[in-house]
Homo-oligomer: A and B are copies of this chain.
């Protein structure tokens, strides 16, 4: 069988068994540097058990996301790892439910559904860690640039920020808030908006819900001649590769992307095999990485 170079036909086996030995990953944007490590983790877990990975980048486009789900259903994948686009994907989750295709949600919490499996970091804690670092460093006025608040993770990060305020006896309503779309450009734009109003920045600390927006904010501050971290301290979220390459290197709340990917794939494979995983939702710990956009503590 080795020498004949025979490879059993997965398609025929798939038809006979009803299992295609493949899973799909649906993400909103491959270009987001948060995904590469995640994908690596997923692939490692899948390969170990002989599964292939269908990649579906919906490009932030709900139309494409629909098309992707349709294609997934046709290709008869055994399961789906879903990191939904901004818009509400519940219609698509219903489709998966109806077809009894197991799925794991990455970085999104389902409020209505009780049966959903998911993997994510403790976003509330992450938000609290970031805000607490800044407030503990003497910040008087915090600007929080959140992602799209329709996403549960964003809501949670905001709650964490508010926790930190309350713990220090501050009114959560006193923090400035902006909202971006996770892109560098949006972080820059939001920050520009707050800086346009006068010569003195109305904030002395800034927390962005991801590193890309934090880097956008850094660009805005540099443009306005405001020194980081001397006049404004900055904390990001994710710890992507760029974070350590910008100048000064970005202090950030790290997500264990590789482990998240691996874990979500393992969880999905357990569901596919009909095993009952002990925990269907897995919450990982964020970790503060101190670099150059905050003053030494």
Binding site for B on A (CB under 8 A): 5, 7-12, 14-15, 20-22, 25, 30-31, 33, 35-37, 39-40, 43, 47, 50, 52-57, 59, 64, 67-68, 70-76, 95, 98, 184, 215, 219, 222, 241-242, 245-247
Counting chain B CB atoms within 10 Å of each CB, the highest count among A5, A12, A52, A219 belongs to A52
Complex Cα distance, B50 from A36, in Å, reads 25
Considering the complex, give the chain B residue whose CB is closest to the CB of A95: B5
Min Cβ gap A73→B in Å is: 4
Chain B residues within 8 Å of A35, by CB:
30
Check B47 against A39 for contact (C-beta < 8 Å): no
Chain B residues within 8 Å of A30, by CB:
35-36, 39-40
Check B43 against A55 for contact (C-beta < 8 Å): yes
Check A22 against B55 for contact (C-beta < 8 Å): no
CB-CB under 8 A for A59 and B76, given A5-B98, A53-B54, A184-B245? no
Check B75 against A57 for contact (C-beta < 8 Å): no
4 smallest CB-CB distances across A and B, nearest first, come from: A31-B36, A55-B55, A11-B14, A10-B74
Chain B residues within 8 Å of A15, by CB:
9, 11-12, 14-15
Check B53 against A55 for contact (C-beta < 8 Å): yes
Min Cβ gap A199→B in Å is: 23
CB-CB under 8 A for A10 and B75, given A31-B241, A222-B247? yes
Considering the complex, give the chain B residue whose CB is closest to the CB of A32: B36
Considering the complex, give the chain B residue whose CB is closest to the CB of A77: B52
Considering the complex, give the chain B residue whose CB is closest to the CB of A12: B15
Check A52 against B75 for contact (C-beta < 8 Å): yes
Complex Cα distance, B27 from A12, in Å, reads 27
Check A71 against B50 for contact (C-beta < 8 Å): yes
Min Cβ gap A211→B in Å is: 10
Check B55 against A40 for contact (C-beta < 8 Å): no
Contact sample, A vs B, 12 pairs, CB 8 Å cutoff: A9-B15, A11-B15, A22-B75, A30-B35, A30-B39, A31-B36, A43-B57, A47-B64, A47-B67, A52-B54, A52-B56, A53-B55
